[in-house]
Amino acid sequence: MTQSKIIIAIDGHSSCGKSTIAKAVAVRFGYVFIDSGAMYRAVTLFALRRNLIKDGVVDEQKLIKLLPEIKIEFRYNPEKQKSDTYLNGENVEDEIRQLPVSQNVSPVATIAEVRAEMVRQQQEMGKNKGIVMDGRDIGTVVFPEAELKLFVTASAEIRAQRRFDELTAKGEAVSYAEILQNVQERDRIDSTREASPLKKAADALVLDNSNMGRDEQLEWVVMLINERLK
Ligand code: DC
């Protein structure tokens, strides 16, 4: 069947370059790119600001009650040529990438009611297709009917090495062993949580980029998309 626009779901482990691929694909096809992790991060920032997280424990009932007050949007920033995340009208793109949010987002992302609301918003964003969304449950829960599903991965050691190189290039003093441990811990939490654990959809194609460059990955994905657009 000829399709004019499709949905592309990109799931996989943390720090394996999902959003780099998703962004490049979106630019190539003029599609909308949505970083679903940014939405869980924005909810986490909201919870932190309302003092709903203490020592890593989330006041789930209060947060669930306040969900209708949380409005998340993506607005295109022409300077950066990418979208910024907005929480109730405020640009929070930088703040959601910082440590307090990174350290608290996992427990927030395990709350079933939070997930249900994010999934509802994500499905709304994809209703006209022409979208590339990256996350953990996009091919399994958000868009089970996506025309192309990718499951991106790379060995924990390689992901830790990439993160280590990135941080040392910025002049940060970090230990490879600690980063590796953090990568493995995040894999464990993402894969074993009760609500929508990270798992490959039966019909997803695996992209193991342990030994693949950016261009090589992009060309492979572009070929897969073109096949589906034929
Ligand atoms: O991709 P990221 O590191 O920005 O994701 C932040 C957190 O949100 C991480 O703990 C995984 C979680 N997440 C999720 O549970 N489901 C998604 N679709 C995207 C992210």
- Range 170-183 burial, b when 16+ CB lie within 10 A, else e: eeeeeeeeebbebb
At 27 the pLDDT is: 92
Give the pLDDT band (50/70/90) at residue 122: very high
At 189 the pLDDT is: 83
Q: What is the pLDDT of residues 203-220, one digit of tens each?
A: 999 999 999 999 999 999
Instruction: Report the chain's mean pLDDT, rounded to a whole number.
Output: 93
- What's the distance, Cα to Cα, between the start and end of the chain in Å? 8
CA of 136 to the centre of ligand 1 (A): 6
Is the model's pLDDT at 107 over the cut of 60?
yes
Task: Name 74's bridge partners.
Answer: 85
- Range 54-70 burial, b when 16+ CB lie within 10 A, else e: eeeebebeebbeeeeeb
CA of 151 to the centre of ligand 1 (A): 14
- Residues whose beta carbon lies within 6 Å of some atom of ligand 1: 14, 36-37, 40-41, 105-106, 109, 135-138, 190
Sort strands 148-153 and 205-208 into parallel, antiparallel or unpaired: parallel
At 2 the pLDDT is: 59
CA of 225 to the centre of ligand 1 (A): 24
Q: What is the pLDDT of residues 140-159, one digit of tens each?
A: 999 999 999 999 999 999 99
pTM to 2 decimal places: 0.91
Q: What is the pLDDT of residues 32-71, one digit of tens each?
A: 999 999 999 999 999 999 999 999 999 999 999 999 999 9
**Cα(41)–Cα(98) distance, rounded to whole angstroms?**
10
Is the model's pLDDT at 1 over the cut of 60?
no
Q: Which two tokens stand for residue 8?
A: 């592309």
Q: How far is CA 155 from CA 152, 209, 212, in A?
A: 11, 9, 12
**Cα(10)–Cα(202) distance, rounded to whole angstroms?**
13
Q: Considering Cα of 199, then 202, then 207, then 210, what sign does the dihedral take?
A: positive
Q: What is the DSSP string of 165-208?
A: HHHHHTT----HHHHHHHHHHHHHHHHH-SSS-----TTPEEEE
